[in-house]
Amino acid sequence: MADNYTYDFQRLQQDAIRRAREMQARARVPDPPLNQGAPGPPAAPAAQPSTAPPQQHSAPAPQHVPAPEAGQQHEREPSFGPLSPVKDIFDSLMSDSERTLLLVLILLLTEEKADIGLIFALMYLVL
Confidence of residue 1 (pLDDT cuts 50, 70, 90): low
pLDDT surpassing 60 at residue 22: yes
Per the structure, the count of domains in the chain is 1
Q: Is residue 117 assigned to a domain?
A: yes
User: How far is the C-alpha of 69 from the C-alpha of 15, rounded, in Å?
Assistant: 41
Where does the pLDDT of residue 30 fall: very low under 50, low under 70, confident under 90, or very high at 90 and above?
Answer: low
Report if residue 113 sits inside a domain.
Answer: yes
Say if 62 falls within a structural domain.
no
Would 103 be classed as within a structural domain? yes
Residue 48 belongs to a domain: no
Does any domain span residue 121? yes
Question: Is residue 116 one of the residues assigned to a domain?
Answer: yes
42/64 Cα distance (integer angstroms): 11
Q: What domain range is 104 assigned to? A: 96-126
